[in-house]
Amino acid sequence: MQSRSIANLVPKRYSFIPNSFIPKQFYFTTVLFRTVPFRTVLLRSKFYIAAVLLHFSSIPRANKIDKSYVALTSSRGLETIAHKMFMRVSAILPFYLIYIPTLVYLISGKSVMHSVFALFYPGLLVIDNGHFQYNSVSLGLFLAMILCLFRNRVYLGSVFFVAALNYKQMELYHALPVFVFILSKSVNKTEPMQSLIKIIKIGMVVICSFILLWLPFIATGTIQDVLIRIFPFNRGIYEDKVASFWCAFSVVLKRLPIQNIQIHISTAMVLLSSSVSLVRLFLKPSTRNFKLTLVTTSLSFFLFSFHVHEKTILLAVIPAILLLPEYPEHVLWMLNISNISLFDLCLKDNSTSFVFFFFFYFLVSFSFVKNSGKTSKIHFVSVLLGFFLCASQLYGPRIPRFPHLYQLGNAFYCCIHFIYFLIFFTLESFRKV
């Protein structure tokens, strides 16, 4: 997957590591949101560049600390405590350096609680620090891009997006709305010539930064190898039991004769479901519409596209967090459902106690929504039912004929919710504010 990250050189699943690193982050964030000045200080300094450099240089750093960490093949399964520590810290640092400052900056405004919910979102912590991935880097870069676009710094923004895209190809989920937003912003009907020049300029910036990032592989002529690793079309339409449309309705779908053209159908459905809000965004490129389209597009990718992981829901959730001030109830509902959809992953990683974390997050968020006046019982009941599904996955009676019944039930349940959120946010983009 991450061809240039050191994660590729060591086994990806770190389920055996005691997940005691999340608490550190967790406890720290309890006070983070209260210390206000840090975010301006951090933002002013050019920490992005430093952090990116730091991360890309992690291979030499690992080399310096201990050569056995990065020895090809023989480092697989390496499990010394010092090495775990190194890996864990390398996943924590970008969280604080890139992800948190940008997110807090983007979301701060009316209520401190919004920042609290953004910082404490368990999904990212569980995936990055429990399961072990480096999502906070790509998501942080993505957020930095949004920040730049909101401030009309298009060139810098596109560089950030290229960086994010090249850090993790999953950022392609966001590519369409970003492209449409930039395009629509640049087009000026009265002066077609100038808008063309501007678009060409942006295109040049994007291409240049692409070439710069790929230079080592161009030089060694290994581009094709990289591409094959990045886009594994031969891996199947979904991995494990994920809350995507194809998996949730697989009981029905696998009886239909569509196996051969599935890839075309999935592409068509993605485009179809996201096109509505994309068109809307092109016609009215407001920041709210941009955020809404980011959510709907990534949700349609998550639901309908080829080869989806359960972790990919992060790509839909993170832009949704930005909508917290506008739609607190729906966003929090979506966050809670996404937590439930990640439960299966926790189960596989043998860290089921995270479900308590999810549950407390739900309690606090529901109490917050209830306090702000607007509340519906469906939210409460649906999330509670989700937790019930999790519990049944743990303690329900085993049925030998359907070994994956509960997993599939969970996936199906979450999938219905995600479809609802997709429709809801699509319709919202047509509502006048």
Residues 81-100 close enough to bind other proteins by CB under 8 A = 81-82, 84-85, 89
Region near other proteins per CB under 8 A, out of 112-120, 198-206, 221-229, 383-391: 112-120
For 115, the token pair is 């920042």
**Rounded to an integer, what is the distance from CA 55 to the centroid of its chain?**
19
Region near other proteins per CB under 8 A, out of 4-12, 16-24, 55-63, 69-77: 16-24
Interface with other proteins (CB under 8 A), residue from 12, 13, 27, 225: 27
Question: What gap in Å lies between CA 421 and CA 428, rounded to an integer?
Answer: 10
* 93 vs 156, beta carbon nearer other proteins: 93
Question: What gap in Å lies between CA 162 and CA 183, rounded to an integer?
Answer: 16
Q: Does 20 bind other proteins (CB under 8 A)?
A: yes
Interface with other proteins (CB under 8 A), residue from 44, 353, 400, 433: 353
Question: What gap in Å lies between CA 94 and CA 96, rounded to an integer?
Answer: 5
Interface with other proteins (CB under 8 A), residue from 6, 7, 22, 146: 22
Shortest Cβ 147–other proteins spacing (Å): 23
Q: Does 19 bind other proteins (CB under 8 A)?
A: yes
Sign of CA dihedral 188, 191, 192, 197: negative
List C-alpha distances in Å: 379 to 113, 171, 315, 329, 376: 19, 29, 22, 8, 6
Q: Does 360 bind other proteins (CB under 8 A)?
A: yes
Interface with other proteins (CB under 8 A), residue from 11, 15, 26, 250: 26
Q: Does 381 bind other proteins (CB under 8 A)?
A: no
All residues at 6 or more sequence positions from 61 whose CB lies less than 8 Å from its CB, including other chains:
none
Interface with other proteins (CB under 8 A), residue from 361, 412, 421, 425: 361
Please list the residues that pair with 308 across neighbouring strands. 238
Q: Tell me the number of residues near other proteins by CB under 8 A.
A: 35
All residues at 6 or more sequence positions from 222 whose CB lies less than 8 Å from its CB, including other chains:
none
Question: What gap in Å lies between CA 178 and CA 263, rounded to an integer?
Answer: 24
Q: Does 34 bind other proteins (CB under 8 A)?
A: yes
List C-alpha distances in Å: 26 to 126, 129, 147, 320: 11, 11, 25, 21
Interface with other proteins (CB under 8 A), residue from 9, 54, 364, 384: 364
List C-alpha distances in Å: 424 to 249, 327, 428: 21, 11, 6
* 131 vs 307, beta carbon nearer other proteins: 131
Interface with other proteins (CB under 8 A), residue from 18, 257, 373, 400: 18
Shortest Cβ 384–other proteins spacing (Å): 16
Region near other proteins per CB under 8 A, out of 143-151, 247-255, 359-367, 381-389: 359-367
3-state secondary structure of 308: strand
**Closest among 330, 331, 353, 343 to 414, alpha carbons compared:** 343
Q: Does 384 bind other proteins (CB under 8 A)?
A: no
Q: What are phi and psi of 308, to 5 degrees?
A: -110, 140
State the alpha helices, DSSP H only, in 33-120: 37-44, 47-56, 58-65, 81-94, 100-107, 112-120
Interface with other proteins (CB under 8 A), residue from 23, 192, 236, 403: 23
List C-alpha distances in Å: 87 to 5, 69, 111, 128: 12, 10, 35, 11
**Closest among 102, 90, 111, 93 to 28, alpha carbons compared:** 93
Shortest Cβ 92–other proteins spacing (Å): 8
* 273 vs 365, beta carbon nearer other proteins: 365
Q: Does 74 bind other proteins (CB under 8 A)?
A: no
Shortest Cβ 381–other proteins spacing (Å): 19
Residues 119-178 close enough to bind other proteins by CB under 8 A = 120
* 28 vs 47, beta carbon nearer other proteins: 28
Residue ranges binding other proteins (CB under 8 A): 18-28, 30-31, 34-35, 81-82, 84-85, 89, 111-113, 120, 353-354, 356-357, 360-361, 363-364, 367-368, 371
